Amino acid sequence: EVWRFGLEEIEGSVQYEYANRFAEIVSEKTDGQVEVRLFPYGQLGGLTDIYDQVQAGSVQLAFGSGFLGGTVPESQLFSLNFILTDDELSNTQILNDEAFRKNDDLIDSFRERSLHPLAIVPEGWQVWTANKAVRTPEDFAGLAIRTMDNRLLRETYSAYGANPTTMEYGELYSGLQLGQLDGNIQPVFAHQEMDFYQVQDYMIFANQAQFIATVMANADWYDNLSDEHEQVIEDAVVELVPYIHEVQTRLNTERLNIITENSDIEVIRLTPEERAVFRERSLPVRDVFVDMVGDRGENLLNALLELVEEGAPESAD
């Protein structure tokens, strides 16, 4: 039996490492009867092509992140800025706490689109790059920054004073190189492995959001799994929570070293005061999210904010 697993990222990425370990666990637990076959970014077409194929059932499993907003609007919750803690491990644990991962509103929002959410995977801080130094919303004025394709991100970067522009992942390098874009937002490992950093001058850490992807399955396929296979998936997903945290922090650290050794990119870390200005601007975007997706979205946002507050009282401001 083969389970096809579609990735939004290339070989060597956080999603690849996740799926690779997932495949090993599944193979071990099924005595080799199930082979999980990985399809790195590009092999199944563009990003939304991957989601279409999971909805249709020709691919059983896939990652879905920013571009998934068009398919599952509620998933744009994961694009909101300044809603998690400053601690990456707590964030990973909170998002995969059963109270959130198995929240009915979350499950229903995917199932209504023939998908079933299995895990939520933070892949590291979303880090800005630009062809100029950015420390304030004024610095963002007139800057064409690429966002993934969802309204929440466009609203967020408009609120920050920039000109958000959407482009497919695979077209981004040439978009930056040709000057159609002035800036980009990615976790560090992606800036490195996609060579984006080579055509950017500044790298800015604002720690405004994690890059968050969900692992999802075709809902009918998932419902027809044997109890045993369903349990294998559940065990793998739980085992991968600490694993992927370790992998993403290690990859992001290693790749930042590669970037600074191989370029003269200037790294900027926003001060708490500079960061607070962006946080303030991000708050009204929460209302945009609720207006856009209604009660279910509001419940989900509140559930997450509550877990964040319980999990890290000292950093909930």
Binding site for ligand 6CS (CB under 6 A): 8-9, 47, 65-67, 148, 169, 186-187, 190, 211
Residue 186, burial from CB neighbour count under 10 angstroms (0-12, 13-18, 19+): buried
| Nearest to ligand 6CS of 6, 66 (CB atom) | 66
CB of 61 to ligand 6CS, least distance (A): 15
| Nearest to ligand 6CS of 211, 289 (CB atom) | 211
CB of 41 to ligand 6CS, least distance (A): 7
CB of 38 to ligand 6CS, least distance (A): 15
| Nearest to ligand 6CS of 190, 303 (CB atom) | 190
Residue 141: name the closest of 116, 119, 161 by CA: 161
Residue 17 CA to its chain's centroid (Å): 15
Over its C-alpha atoms, the chain yields an Rg (Å, rounded) of: 19
**Cα–Cα distance for residue pair 203/127, rounded to 1 Å:** 7
CB of 307 to ligand 6CS, least distance (A): 24
| Nearest to ligand 6CS of 97, 123 (CB atom) | 123
CB of 310 to ligand 6CS, least distance (A): 29
Give whole-number Cα distances, 108 to 22, 37, 72, 264, 307, in Å: 24, 27, 10, 47, 20
> Do 89 and 144 meet the contact criterion of CB atoms below 8 Å apart?
no
Token digits of residue 40: 């790195």
| Nearest to ligand 6CS of 105, 187 (CB atom) | 187
Longest dimension (CA), the chain: 58
CB of 192 to ligand 6CS, least distance (A): 11
| Nearest to ligand 6CS of 9, 139 (CB atom) | 9
